[in-house]
Structure 1
């Protein structure tokens, strides 16, 4: 999470959406940052609104707008599946090494999720407890240039991004019946994605 006081803006870091690269480019311009540990870095919109915003906004007498980037849900899950298959965590409960993508998605849809599939949901990250989106400015990962343009305009700075935290590339597919179940049971995530259509 990065906060830009003069620009009245907070960048919320949705995992697996290119935010590490954004943070690296933006950190020199930020007035406050939460970068580690990861569970604190990825401040949800709800946590921002309920816990952190009152401190910054009440002290400063201003409302800070929020922005975030989200990714197409299947692609987002593929990225998580690849990331958790990396050799450094092989053998751990969170590792997906040797676990097929269908099994990963089925685990993600389970309640409770097995540890290897416990990665949260983008729709919940950007919403309040009732499911209402509370992020002011949402951008698609696949059109990150629009988010960068927004930030450059808002901050009055030219940004240079480099790829960071990229998951190892492996080709995975999803069985049609699993994808149908995913689209049904994770409808909020797909609806959120569709709402950002250009």
Structure 2
């Protein structure tokens, strides 16, 4: 078993790659390149870190686990094709969200920042405070300020966690709204 060199000398790219892999496998959360750079006493070039992360992604290609870049950084996750097998190990059922919760989340994601009043205007019905609390509790939305109108209603937007949980880097990776509407209509027909 090889030992890591003392931190007085610069680690080789192979050693850096090995440490990056271990840190990402051990972390439950995505790690930014800035966080990954902190693993080393010496200042490492951003380009080197990025190249080694791309190499790691290639090394893991075709396996049941993949390295992906999401909004808040890099993380390992299981591939979609093995997920049904892993789901058999879980005793818990995935969270089910009502149509009202999903519609509210979609409005916030596609129209952000929005107020509760904006959401109600689009949906045509009142938004229960429980819906906003559920989405905030999940870490998917947050208040990002206040609209400068009488009453100063809170403005809501999605969070990095929302993007991370969906495996997205940016909001531009969301599916087109028309595609989402077709899915909602299909589910209504069932």
Normalised TM-score (structure 1): 0.27
Q: Whose RCO is larger (CA < 8 A, sep 6+)?
A: 1
